[in-house]
Amino acid sequence: MNGFNLSRSIRTRQLLQVRRMRKITEFEPRIIAFTCNWCAYSAADIAGISRFHYPANVRNIKVMCTGMIDPGYILRAFERGADGVLVAGCEIGDCHYISGNIKAKERVERLKKLLHILGLEDERLRLEWIDAGDGRKFADTIENMAGKLKKLGPSPFKKEVKS
């Protein structure tokens, strides 16, 4: 019994140590999420109510509709060193303002073409439709995006990287 406990606490300590070390070395991507008030933002609330933990890398900015998101905001985030940007709105057909999300999709697609020329990895800008009740999807999306961005490494526009 004692032996078991001992080995377990050693393991925990080791684990903690590894985690602490990782914290220093491992890069933590920053995600800016523009979330629609009516769905994705509410999904993030539901994720909270359901205690679905997800990485703390994300910072939500609430907008009334994805149609309100100016491509300039997304570029501003990249300029300032965001590693990824998420645009999350209502399912097609569910937009509170009818076609805001359709227009947002067109804008994101056009911006992606431009970011492609610039040489930015496609995964750094992501568009998702997340239903108001779908806390699971919100948490999963962030988890998944953070994972991908970790693999990609820091954005080329990150302050520290700049010469």
Instruction: State how far the Cα of 88 lies from the Cα of 66, in Å rounded to an integer.
Output: 7
Between the CA of residue 24 and those of 18, 20, 57, 163, what are the distances in Å?
10, 7, 15, 22
Q: Is the dihedral of CA 125, 131, 132, 133 positive or negative?
A: negative
Contacts of 24 (CB under 8 A, 6+ apart): none
Tell me, what amino acid is at 132?
A
Interface with ligand FES includes 90 (CB under 6 A)?
yes
Between the CA of residue 101 and those of 26, 44, 69, 108, 146, what are the distances in Å?
35, 18, 10, 10, 24
Interface with ligand FES includes 138 (CB under 6 A)?
no
Interface with other proteins includes 77 (CB under 8 A)?
yes
Which residue from 31, 32, 33, 36 is in contact with ligand FES, where contact means CB under 6 A? Answer: 36
64/118 with CB nearer ligand FES: 64
Rg over CA atoms, the chain: 19
Which residue from 41, 88, 134, 146 is in contact with other proteins, where contact means CB under 8 A? Answer: 41
Which residue from 29, 39, 40, 65 is in contact with other proteins, where contact means CB under 8 A? Answer: 65
| Region near ligand FES per CB under 6 A, out of 11-19, 35-43, 105-113, 152-160 | 35-43
Q: Residue 89 binds which one of ligand FES, other proteins, none, with CB within 5 to 8 A depending on kind?
A: ligand FES
Interface with other proteins includes 13 (CB under 8 A)?
no
Which residue from 8, 11, 22, 110 is in contact with other proteins, where contact means CB under 8 A? Answer: 110
Q: Residue 120 binds which one of other proteins, ligand FES, none, with CB within 5 to 8 A depending on kind?
A: other proteins
Which two three-digit tokens encode residue 55? 């990485």
Instruction: State how far the Cα of 20 lies from the Cα of 143, in Å rounded to an integer.
Output: 20
| Residues in region 115-154 near other proteins by CB under 8 A | 116-120, 139
Q: Which residues of the shown chain bind ligand FES in the complex (CB under 6 A)?
A: 36, 38-39, 65-67, 89-90, 95-97, 100-101
